[in-house]
Amino acid sequence: MPPPLDDILDRLHVVALPMRVRFRGITVRELTLIDGPAGWGEFGAFPEYEPPEAAHWLAAALESAYHKPPPARRDRIPINATVPAVDAARVPEVLARFPGATTAKVKVAEPGQTLADDVARVDAVRALVPTVRVDANGGWSVEQAVQAAKALGPLEYLEQPCATVAELAELRRHIETPVAADESIRKAEDPLAVINAGAADIAVLKVAPLGGISKLLTIAGQIGIPVVISSAIDSAVGIATGLQAAAALPALQHACGLGTGSLFVEDVAETPPQIDGYLPVQPITPDRERLHVLAASPQRRQWWIDRIKACHRLLAA
């Protein structure tokens, strides 16, 4: 059973974080933070997610706020740079926010852009960072993904190049570039279906959509392929939770997508800097003054409260 709703709401902060560039179609990231007895939890399911999906995100926030994290196997985590679908000329500016990173994830297949735009962006990244992976968020057909894999050059992997598990499985038969699954795991009723279908070489796992660190570690233990822990445009609180998850994995072969805090103009806490492409694993406590300055409007706060109530009813049931 989840903690009592009244207790959760008494501990709630709703913030709106301005972003440096448009990412996933937004320029302001709204989310809620819960100051729990065991630490801070973050609930930031994207606005379009209905309660059945968003409830997983609330479960993750409650786990972090009310339960201690699992034991850590490592005290720092390698981090990839994250490059939004910006013009190639802006790539050096973006990469400068990820000092020491030797891996970069580049957003591609952005609506309104072309494969030529993607190639120019990836080439600009590759000129500065040795290892490049791309994320299409399911934006390509199999034929388009095959074409893109050829045009983009050597890649660590293609993340969610196509939308469906069947398409990913078919694509793997046509290209040598490894395929990573993200949405096909975190949005699936059965997170292991993508593996059973032979549709992925790498699993991209995110704490919040999967319902918390405990569930993520269970899936990671069952999935049988290398795992990359990534964020969902999290605040410093969510990033710290992702780092705790990555620290608890038995094995970690790839850099993790947990450097997205640099996408914010302001965050809820002062975060430790990346050193040689790594972030330390440590708890984060939001700054009270920042929580006040970054607080969402009363109307938006009520919207999030109503949403938490709807998700809490599902968890309680």
Active site residues: 107, 206
232 alpha carbon, distance to own chain's centre: 3
Q: For residues 253 and 157, give the distance between their C-alpha atoms in angstroms, rounded to a whole number.
A: 13
Q: For residues 30 and 161, give the distance between their C-alpha atoms in angstroms, rounded to a whole number.
A: 27
In the chain, the amino acid numbered 317 is A
Phi first, then psi, for residue 228 (nearest 5°) are -120, 125
10 annotated as a binding-site residue = no
170 annotated as a binding-site residue = no
Token pair recorded at residue 263: 């996408």
Token pair recorded at residue 245: 């998850």
- Distance of CA 301 to CAs 12, 177, 313, Å? 9, 44, 19
267 annotated as a binding-site residue = no
Phi first, then psi, for residue 65 (nearest 5°) are -80, -30
Q: What are the binding residues for Mg(2+)?
A: 135, 159, 182
Tell me the binding residues: 135, 159, 182
